[in-house]
Amino acid sequence: MKKIWLAGGCFWGVEAYFQQLKGVVGTKVGYGQGRIENPTYQQVCSGTTGHTEVCEVTYHEEVLPLRKLLEHFFRIIDPVTLNRQGPDQGTQYRSGVYYSDEMEKECILEFIKEQQLSYSEPIVVEVEPVKNFCLAEAYHQDYLQKTPNGYCHVNLMLAKPEEKKR
């Protein structure tokens, strides 16, 4: 099993999208990349902690290689918009890919370099080692499963049927 941490705006939609994919065995939402440990949602939303909303994705690399996982991520984000995804604005909604080993870093940077050829504006997705990741409050976990008509800026239909769990 491998883990990667993805920030793409509100973590509810990012989590719901990745939960439906073959090869993903677990997700957790939380806060990462900030200056303090264990912030609350209110602290993160204040913009003073430096955290972003993050979805931890645990996956089978043989079923869903990192490159394919990144393709999915780029389907659901606007990689050239800074501190905003959909209607959500603020530093806590910036986009990023956070890794735990240097081999992943090289793959991520190469992927972004290739993606940049499709954009006239610079890609602003952060690429950093994961730091200060902590779980969000319980009501945020699996939010869209618990709240089927809840808010979601991610188009969950972007996953093709053959890519989804059965």
> In three state form, how does the secondary structure of the chain look?
CEEEEEEECCHHHHHHHHHCECCEEEEEEEEECCCCCCCCHHHHHCCCCCCEEEEEEEECCCCCCHHHHHHHHHHHCCCCCCCEECCEECHHHCEEEEECCHHHHHHHHHHHHHHHCCCCCCCCCEEEECCCCEECCHHHCCHHHHCCCCCCCCCHHHCCHHHECC
Token match 């902590």: residue?
A: 134
Pairwise CA distance, residues 142 & 33, whole Å: 21
10 is catalytic: yes
Catalytic residue among 10, 55, 107, 134: 10
Catalytic residue set: 10
